[in-house]
Amino acid sequence: MTLQENTHYLALSKLTPEIVLDKHYSEIALATIDIKRQLYNLIAINSLFSCIKNNRNDEASYHKLKGLLRETPIKTPFECFLYACDCAKEDILNNEDSFRGAVCLYIDNRSLLGNNEQSLTWYQALIDRDVSFSRQRSATTKAKIKKIAQQAGLRVIDEGDDNIKLIIGGKYAAIRLIHLRASGGSQNNHIKKLLHFLELPATEEQPFACVFADGLYSNTIISKPKIAAILTDNSSAFWFNTAGFEAFIRDGAS
């Protein structure tokens, strides 16, 4: 099949809304997170704080702690404490006095968890929470549509941030990505920018301008009259969710 009119994919997206548990996110998240390694690091970090609390001159523990904090990508309780103190991990790791001062301030003012079963459950929750941060979620959204496109045999060009390009039907399709889990001020501003992107006229270098929006809140956004109006006025603009994008890919790849 050849590509159909943009309103076809919009209508299909409305008829097939996003679901509560999207398999793409769970599959990608579980495949990319080394749970055992992250749990080990969190437990080891907590144990090192305990060692320093018992002996403020334990040089080996300071050294090991700094190394683990550098290599652990998720937010530890210590980092949350640093944010409350108006600084970040990166602000102290390269300054020994600041690092030791922050460590001592933390152990003097916060309780340290033991490494029992209850603590392990809490550590697991910390890992899961960190995965849900917008930066990780954005990367997952990109990985999701890359997978869909590549499985159809399409070439994907990574444009950085939340942008990709596909060669579909022999033409370039520039696609802006957004994951909409809930409403919010920053997301609403982002949506306005995406709508402006769709209003831009097509060019020879960029015949198609597309927005891919998934997540539960996208089910609400996609019904906005503004989206339908833009697509009606600009035949080279597309807005779709997962189902609409999959249909777009199937039609363009065949």
The tens digit of pLDDT for each residue in 218-228 reads 999 999 999 99
The answer to the question of residue 21 being in a domain is yes
The answer to the question of residue 63 being in a domain is yes
Amino acid identity of residue 60, one-letter, is A
Q: pLDDT (tens digit, 9 = 90+) per residue, 148-193?
A: 999 999 989 998 878 999 988 788 999 999 999 877 767 788 899 9
- pLDDT greater at residue 128 or residue 53: 53
Range of the domain at 245: 6-29+134-253
| The domain boundary residue, chosen from 85, 115, 131 | 131
CA distances from 31 to 24, 26, 65, 100, 152 (A): 11, 8, 27, 36, 21
Q: Please, what sign has the CA dihedral across residues 86, 88, 89, 95?
A: negative
Measure the CA–CA gap between 216 and 46, rounded to whole angstroms: 36
- Domain co-membership, 95 together with 175: no
Host H or E run for residue 210: strand 208-214
The mean pLDDT value for 83-98 works out to 90
- Domain co-membership, 52 together with 172: no
- Domain co-membership, 158 together with 96: no
Measure the CA–CA gap between 7 and 138, rounded to whole angstroms: 26
Does residue 99 contact residue 92 with C-beta atoms inside 8 Å? yes
Percent of the chain with pLDDT over 70: 85
The answer to the question of residue 64 being in a domain is yes
Q: What is the mean pLDDT of the chain?
A: 87
Count of domains in the chain?
2
Distance, first Cα to last Cα, the chain:
6
Closest by CA to 205, choosing from 242, 159, 250, 243, is 159
Q: What is the pLDDT of residue 136?
A: 61
Q: What is the pLDDT of residue 186?
A: 74
- Domain co-membership, 139 together with 126: no
The answer to the question of residue 1 being in a domain is no
Q: What is the pLDDT of residue 62?
A: 95
Measure the CA–CA gap between 77 and 99, rounded to whole angstroms: 15
Measure the CA–CA gap between 157 and 166, rounded to whole angstroms: 6
Under the banding of pLDDT at 50, 70 and 90, the label for residue 129 is low
Does residue 181 contact residue 219 with C-beta atoms inside 8 Å? no
- Domain co-membership, 124 together with 173: no
- Domain co-membership, 120 together with 148: no
Q: Is the pLDDT of residue 118 over 60?
A: no
- Domain co-membership, 165 together with 194: yes
Q: Is the pLDDT of residue 30 over 70?
A: no
Q: What is the number of other CB atoms lying within 10 angstroms of the CB of residue 53? A: 16
- Domain co-membership, 154 together with 141: yes
Name which of 45-54, 75-84, 121-130, 216-225 the model is least confident about: 121-130
The answer to the question of residue 189 being in a domain is yes
| The domain boundary residue, chosen from 103, 131, 159 | 131
- Domain co-membership, 177 together with 245: yes
Percent of the chain with pLDDT over 90: 54
Q: Considering the entire predicted model, what is its pTM?
A: 0.70
Does residue 145 contact residue 212 with C-beta atoms inside 8 Å? yes
The mean pLDDT value for 35-51 works out to 85
Structure tokens at 50: 């305990």
Measure the CA–CA gap between 80 and 136, rounded to whole angstroms: 18
Structure tokens at 198: 């769709």
- Domain co-membership, 140 together with 72: no
Under the banding of pLDDT at 50, 70 and 90, the label for residue 6 is very high
Q: What is the pLDDT of residue 135?
A: 52
- Domain co-membership, 230 together with 162: yes
* Residue keyed to tokens 């995406």: 194
| The domain boundary residue, chosen from 77, 103, 131 | 131
- Domain co-membership, 151 together with 247: yes
